[in-house]
Structure 1
């Protein structure tokens, strides 16, 4: 089971990808983007995806926060809708505008919608509420490259029956992801900087419920794979994954090249 990217930490283009997390920041959460980013950097993260819902988007200058925190702060959006039809419109509208696009799961209808959309990066917290994942949805997620989220929020912050149910849900989802090699991400799904946990702490929690340390780390790196690939596709010289249209920096004859091959 891998996060869907290169398990060695690369993004498939030879570049290193570190650990990323996703957070709901103000006005969708309690803490500001700046405070979340500063805390994430202190915890050892290389990047932070601001994943606010569409009706609570942040207008903070993420580039400025990135420079201050020395952390890659990424524009994400979590689509929350009343129906798949409404969600489809939101996905079409927001996909070109955000680097990471999630769909708010937790119902069977929304879960099924999300895993069948090539334009969706992540199905967020699919096991919450009345939501569930079965072999059909896991296969669809693998086919369409939609990452299933291992949501550690209730394991970390709930008690009693809710925590027991969350543990059971994570075990079931892990088994399906392993069986069908579905891509995935890992998150504490924080709504405050205080909810963030470092990669080592999340791995320790994961190991107590049957994950390996490498599985948790792969799921944290996968956020970075999404970011790198979206940015690559948006590059004006993009031709196909790993190939850009351009010129040799050390050539003076002006000949075009694609992926190192003269055209």
Structure 2
């Protein structure tokens, strides 16, 4: 077998390991997926009357669902940081290094497993949104594009979460380092239009990376104008993925030389 074939085989083994961890720790999966569902119900049924005053409570679910889908991904990848930190601090990676396996497979297993988990979480949240009245107008092509955008977002934020988990140094720290990823969507166009914000906050909301992601999802699902947001979302996705990958491999290789 060639080195590339061995790396693929080892990576597949690591992916299965991480998917089995989801079954072994169902409480973490339920918590990470359940939190966005709670946010969805909270904003639609508790805050929707006030925040959706301009469009009506019934239509507010259509407005807010794209932001919740993004929050689902950022919430799920928090578990990635925790899993990576657990591997690095509990000695399992040291055991892997003594075995004849491709070093790249360790991180690949985390990334692919987490992307699968993120997409499952998005599917669950989308199902709940449909049950409470979300009515997308997307066509077949829009749905395919939506899946592509969600994959890009998941891939990018998972690599960033892997880097954060490696940099955290402990499981306790890893459980907190990803909180900005969950909070930043609140400071974008996900829950209220940026036009309703004060000047400084509006400037930040319009130029931070989460707003193009949200507006692209909203445009694909609801047919609203996307404009340059698709290009901005693609650019931010590539930058975050590349930065997370380079940071992760640097930290992982540094640990490997100790």
Report TM bin, short chain: under 0.3
Which structure: greater helix fraction?
2
TM-score where L is the length of structure 1:
0.25
Question: Which structure shows the higher strand fraction?
Answer: 1
